[in-house]
Structure 1
Amino acid sequence: MSSSNVRQKTTTTTFRMTPVERAAVVAAADAVGMGPSTFARTTVLRAVGRDAPVRKRRDAIAVVIAPALGQLGKIGNNLNQLTRHAHVGGRVDSESLVDLRDETERLTLAVLALRNEPPA
Protein backbone atom coordinates (compact mmCIF):
# COMPACT_ATOMS: atom_id res chain seq x y z
CA MET A 1 0.00 0.00 0.00
CA SER A 2 1.45 3.40 -0.95
CA SER A 3 1.99 6.14 1.60
CA SER A 4 -0.73 8.24 -0.07
CA ASN A 5 -3.26 5.47 0.58
CA VAL A 6 -2.17 5.05 4.18
CA ARG A 7 -2.41 8.79 4.91
CA GLN A 8 -5.67 9.39 3.06
CA LYS A 9 -7.90 11.67 5.11
CA THR A 10 -11.44 10.37 5.40
CA THR A 11 -13.03 12.14 8.38
CA THR A 12 -13.84 15.76 9.16
CA THR A 13 -13.83 17.64 12.44
CA THR A 14 -15.22 21.15 12.79
CA PHE A 15 -15.25 23.68 15.58
CA ARG A 16 -16.66 27.16 16.12
CA MET A 17 -14.62 30.32 16.56
CA THR A 18 -15.36 33.98 16.98
CA PRO A 19 -14.50 36.23 14.04
CA VAL A 20 -11.50 37.53 16.01
CA GLU A 21 -10.25 33.97 16.67
CA ARG A 22 -10.74 33.07 13.00
CA ALA A 23 -8.77 36.14 11.92
CA ALA A 24 -5.94 35.16 14.26
CA VAL A 25 -5.84 31.63 12.82
CA VAL A 26 -5.86 32.94 9.25
CA ALA A 27 -3.07 35.42 10.04
CA ALA A 28 -0.95 32.73 11.70
CA ALA A 29 -1.54 30.37 8.78
CA ASP A 30 -0.63 33.06 6.25
CA ALA A 31 2.56 33.81 8.17
CA VAL A 32 3.79 30.24 7.58
CA GLY A 33 2.41 29.91 4.06
CA MET A 34 -0.51 27.59 4.83
CA GLY A 35 -4.24 27.74 4.49
CA PRO A 36 -6.19 27.92 7.75
CA SER A 37 -7.42 24.31 7.61
CA THR A 38 -3.94 22.89 7.02
CA PHE A 39 -2.56 25.12 9.76
CA ALA A 40 -5.24 23.99 12.23
CA ARG A 41 -4.77 20.31 11.37
CA THR A 42 -0.98 20.54 11.67
CA THR A 43 -1.16 22.42 14.96
CA VAL A 44 -3.66 20.01 16.52
CA LEU A 45 -1.77 16.89 15.41
CA ARG A 46 1.49 18.24 16.78
CA ALA A 47 -0.24 19.13 20.06
CA VAL A 48 -1.24 15.48 20.50
CA GLY A 49 2.26 14.23 19.63
CA ARG A 50 1.60 13.11 16.05
CA ASP A 51 3.66 13.84 12.96
CA ALA A 52 1.96 16.34 10.73
CA PRO A 53 3.48 16.69 7.28
CA VAL A 54 3.47 20.32 6.26
CA ARG A 55 2.08 21.19 2.88
CA LYS A 56 2.84 24.77 1.96
CA ARG A 57 0.36 26.86 0.06
CA ARG A 58 1.14 27.18 -3.63
CA ASP A 59 3.07 30.31 -4.50
CA ALA A 60 1.67 32.94 -6.89
CA ILE A 61 3.36 31.42 -9.94
CA ALA A 62 1.93 27.97 -9.21
CA VAL A 63 -1.55 29.44 -8.78
CA VAL A 64 -1.33 31.23 -12.13
CA ILE A 65 -0.03 28.27 -14.12
CA ALA A 66 -2.23 25.61 -12.50
CA PRO A 67 -5.14 26.06 -14.96
CA ALA A 68 -2.74 25.88 -17.91
CA LEU A 69 -1.18 22.71 -16.54
CA GLY A 70 -4.63 21.19 -16.05
CA GLN A 71 -5.54 22.00 -19.64
CA LEU A 72 -2.21 20.60 -20.83
CA GLY A 73 -3.04 17.36 -19.03
CA LYS A 74 -6.37 17.16 -20.87
CA ILE A 75 -4.66 17.76 -24.21
CA GLY A 76 -2.08 15.08 -23.40
CA ASN A 77 -4.86 12.65 -22.51
CA ASN A 78 -6.62 13.34 -25.82
CA LEU A 79 -3.36 12.85 -27.72
CA ASN A 80 -2.73 9.60 -25.87
CA GLN A 81 -6.22 8.31 -26.77
CA LEU A 82 -5.76 9.21 -30.44
CA THR A 83 -2.33 7.56 -30.49
CA ARG A 84 -3.63 4.40 -28.83
CA HIS A 85 -6.49 4.24 -31.31
CA ALA A 86 -4.08 4.64 -34.25
CA HIS A 87 -1.74 1.95 -32.87
CA VAL A 88 -4.48 -0.67 -32.85
CA GLY A 89 -5.25 0.04 -36.49
CA GLY A 90 -7.94 2.62 -35.98
CA ARG A 91 -8.33 5.62 -38.19
CA VAL A 92 -7.82 9.01 -36.61
CA ASP A 93 -9.95 11.56 -38.40
CA SER A 94 -8.36 14.83 -39.40
CA GLU A 95 -10.99 16.83 -37.50
CA SER A 96 -9.77 15.34 -34.20
CA LEU A 97 -6.21 16.30 -35.04
CA VAL A 98 -7.26 19.83 -36.03
CA ASP A 99 -9.21 20.18 -32.76
CA LEU A 100 -6.17 19.03 -30.79
CA ARG A 101 -3.91 21.44 -32.66
CA ASP A 102 -6.34 24.33 -32.08
CA GLU A 103 -6.60 23.56 -28.36
CA THR A 104 -2.81 23.44 -28.09
CA GLU A 105 -2.59 26.81 -29.85
CA ARG A 106 -5.19 28.34 -27.49
CA LEU A 107 -3.24 27.05 -24.50
CA THR A 108 0.01 28.44 -25.87
CA LEU A 109 -1.56 31.87 -26.39
CA ALA A 110 -3.06 31.81 -22.88
CA VAL A 111 0.30 30.97 -21.30
CA LEU A 112 2.03 33.69 -23.33
CA ALA A 113 -0.61 36.17 -22.16
CA LEU A 114 0.18 35.26 -18.54
CA ARG A 115 3.71 36.55 -19.04
CA ASN A 116 2.29 40.04 -19.61
CA GLU A 117 0.04 40.10 -16.55
CA PRO A 118 1.27 41.98 -13.48
CA PRO A 119 2.01 39.71 -10.49
CA ALA A 120 -0.81 39.31 -7.98
Structure 2
Amino acid sequence: MKYALLVHQPQELFEQRDPAAAAAGKAYGEALRAAGVVVVAAGLQPPQSATMVSVRDGKRQVHDGPYAETKEFLGGFVIIDVPDLDAALEWAARHPWAANSAVEVRPLFAYS
Protein backbone atom coordinates (compact mmCIF):
# COMPACT_ATOMS: atom_id res chain seq x y z
CA MET A 1 0.00 0.00 0.00
CA LYS A 2 1.19 3.50 -0.74
CA TYR A 3 1.58 6.09 2.01
CA ALA A 4 2.52 9.74 2.01
CA LEU A 5 5.01 10.84 4.64
CA LEU A 6 4.37 14.57 4.99
CA VAL A 7 7.11 16.47 6.78
CA HIS A 8 5.86 19.45 8.78
CA GLN A 9 8.48 21.83 10.07
CA PRO A 10 8.68 25.27 11.68
CA GLN A 11 9.53 28.30 9.57
CA GLU A 12 13.01 28.67 11.09
CA LEU A 13 14.07 25.24 9.77
CA PHE A 14 13.40 26.45 6.22
CA GLU A 15 15.90 29.23 6.80
CA GLN A 16 18.69 27.03 8.18
CA ARG A 17 21.20 25.44 5.85
CA ASP A 18 22.54 22.66 8.06
CA PRO A 19 25.07 20.37 6.32
CA ALA A 20 24.48 17.63 8.91
CA ALA A 21 20.72 17.71 8.24
CA ALA A 22 21.37 17.54 4.49
CA ALA A 23 23.64 14.53 4.99
CA ALA A 24 21.02 12.82 7.17
CA GLY A 25 18.37 13.44 4.51
CA LYS A 26 20.61 11.98 1.82
CA ALA A 27 21.31 8.88 3.95
CA TYR A 28 17.57 8.46 4.59
CA GLY A 29 16.85 8.65 0.86
CA GLU A 30 19.54 6.06 0.17
CA ALA A 31 18.02 3.75 2.80
CA LEU A 32 14.58 4.12 1.19
CA ARG A 33 16.02 3.28 -2.24
CA ALA A 34 18.04 0.34 -0.90
CA ALA A 35 14.87 -1.09 0.68
CA GLY A 36 12.97 -0.60 -2.59
CA VAL A 37 10.10 1.27 -0.92
CA VAL A 38 10.43 4.82 -2.23
CA VAL A 39 8.12 5.94 -5.04
CA VAL A 40 9.09 9.62 -5.00
CA ALA A 41 10.51 12.08 -2.50
CA ALA A 42 11.19 15.81 -2.53
CA GLY A 43 11.83 18.74 -0.27
CA LEU A 44 9.81 21.88 -0.85
CA GLN A 45 10.98 25.45 -1.25
CA PRO A 46 10.08 27.85 1.61
CA PRO A 47 6.39 28.76 2.02
CA GLN A 48 6.99 32.28 0.71
CA SER A 49 7.66 30.76 -2.73
CA ALA A 50 4.18 29.18 -2.84
CA THR A 51 1.47 30.22 -5.28
CA MET A 52 -2.14 29.27 -4.60
CA VAL A 53 -4.61 28.76 -7.44
CA SER A 54 -8.38 28.56 -7.14
CA VAL A 55 -11.23 28.82 -9.63
CA ARG A 56 -14.35 30.79 -8.73
CA ASP A 57 -17.18 31.34 -11.17
CA GLY A 58 -14.99 29.93 -13.93
CA LYS A 59 -12.19 32.43 -13.31
CA ARG A 60 -8.73 31.52 -12.15
CA GLN A 61 -7.49 33.33 -9.06
CA VAL A 62 -3.80 33.33 -8.17
CA HIS A 63 -2.42 34.29 -4.78
CA ASP A 64 1.26 34.51 -3.87
CA GLY A 65 2.64 33.28 -0.57
CA PRO A 66 1.62 30.58 1.88
CA TYR A 67 -2.00 29.47 2.05
CA ALA A 68 -2.32 30.09 5.78
CA GLU A 69 -0.50 31.97 8.49
CA THR A 70 0.81 29.19 10.65
CA LYS A 71 3.91 28.29 12.64
CA GLU A 72 4.55 25.05 10.74
CA PHE A 73 4.56 24.37 7.03
CA LEU A 74 4.82 21.37 4.73
CA GLY A 75 8.55 21.08 4.12
CA GLY A 76 8.69 17.93 2.05
CA PHE A 77 7.13 14.60 1.27
CA VAL A 78 7.97 10.98 0.60
CA ILE A 79 5.66 8.52 -1.12
CA ILE A 80 6.45 4.96 -0.09
CA ASP A 81 5.01 1.58 -1.05
CA VAL A 82 5.06 -0.73 1.96
CA PRO A 83 2.96 -3.69 3.17
CA ASP A 84 1.04 -1.91 5.94
CA LEU A 85 0.67 1.06 8.27
CA ASP A 86 3.19 -0.34 10.76
CA ALA A 87 5.88 -0.37 8.08
CA ALA A 88 4.96 3.19 7.07
CA LEU A 89 5.20 4.32 10.70
CA GLU A 90 8.65 2.73 10.98
CA TRP A 91 9.87 4.67 7.94
CA ALA A 92 8.32 7.87 9.30
CA ALA A 93 10.12 7.40 12.61
CA ARG A 94 13.42 6.94 10.74
CA HIS A 95 12.99 10.24 8.87
CA PRO A 96 15.67 12.65 10.11
CA TRP A 97 13.16 15.49 10.56
CA ALA A 98 11.05 13.37 12.93
CA ALA A 99 13.52 14.26 15.70
CA ASN A 100 12.74 18.01 15.60
CA SER A 101 9.51 18.31 13.61
CA ALA A 102 6.64 15.98 12.77
CA VAL A 103 6.06 13.46 10.01
CA GLU A 104 2.40 12.87 9.16
CA VAL A 105 1.59 9.45 7.69
CA ARG A 106 -1.41 9.21 5.36
CA PRO A 107 -2.56 6.33 3.17
CA LEU A 108 -3.14 7.15 -0.49
CA PHE A 109 -6.26 6.31 -2.45
CA ALA A 110 -5.61 3.77 -5.18
CA TYR A 111 -6.95 5.06 -8.49
CA SER A 112 -7.12 2.63 -11.36
**TM-score (ref. length: structure 1):** 0.24
Please say which structure displays the higher CA radius of gyration.
1
Bigger relative CO (Cα 8 Å, ≥ 6 apart): 2
In terms of fraction of residues, the more helix-rich structure is: 1
**TM-score (ref. length: structure 2):** 0.25
